[in-house]
Amino acid sequence: QKSKDTSFLFIVKMSSKSAKPSLPDKDRGNPVNFGMTLMTQGVGTGLAFGLTYFGVESKLQSASPVTIDNKTVSYALIGSVALSLGFLASMVNKARVDYKVAWPNLMLPSDAKNANEYNAVQRAHGNFCEAALLIVPMTLVVADIAPATLLIMSQLWCWGKFGMSYMYAYSNDTEHRFKMAWSYLPYFVIHGFVWLGLASKFGLLKL
């Protein structure tokens, strides 16, 4: 009897079914024009303002056994992103082995065997990197505005985004990743804190 391969714990077995690709869909919130991008920024800013207006930060600090400062946010986010990227890198390496895609090849051409299956894993990794490239420095910049709030928002984004990437990589239909679309909410709230911070610098808002 063949022994089970446990070298990649928590990584699901590749499906025998072909992965179904998907296109951007504005009904699912994928921005397909500048207006939608401005709208999401506006919603995120409104939510960030609401959290500030209703004193959520002070309530979270009161409930915490330790004082949460901007360093706490930084350590937690960078540690979580590093761990997530490590998981995603192992998923890509497993896909390379399974589908025999040697380095330095990045993606398979669309007409290659198992192109959708392999490319979905590679794209999930790349998509997380693209978002982290923006959200990490953005969070570090605004962390001192509302550290406890931004600790929660950044962790919700990180692990929600990882879950979305995982589903993107291993679902038979890549649209299934949208079950984790809620992770965009904390993402845009963090964007919103940037605009609140800028408004405070111009004297338009007191934080």
Q: How far is CA 204 from the centre of its chain?
A: 31
Please report, to the nearest 10 degrees, the dihedral formed by the alpha carbons of residues 13, 16, 18, 24 taken in order. Answer: -30
Write down the pTM of the prediction: 0.86
Residue-wise pLDDT tens digits, 9-57: 455 444 445 666 766 766 666 777 899 999 999 999 999 999 999 999 9
Can you tell me the distance from the alpha carbon of 136 to that of 85, in angstroms, rounded to the nearest whole number? 13
- Among residues 143, 152, 160, 159, the alpha carbon closest in space to that of 63 is found at 152
Residue-wise pLDDT tens digits, 124-151: 999 999 999 999 999 999 999 999 999 9
- Among residues 118, 103, 131, the alpha carbon closest in space to that of 168 is found at 118
**4 — pLDDT class (breaks 50, 70, 90):** very low
Can you tell me the distance from the alpha carbon of 38 to that of 31, in angstroms, rounded to the nearest whole number? 9
Residue 118 phi/psi, 5-degree rounding, is -70, -45
**pLDDT at 88 exceeding the cut of 80:** yes
**pLDDT at 6 exceeding the cut of 90:** no
**pLDDT at 67 exceeding the cut of 90:** yes
Output the pLDDT for position 9. 47
Whether 154 and 73 have beta carbons less than 8 Å apart is answered as yes
Output the pLDDT for position 32. 75
Can you tell me the distance from the alpha carbon of 76 to that of 71, in angstroms, rounded to the nearest whole number? 8
- Kindly state the average pLDDT of the residues 83-92: 97
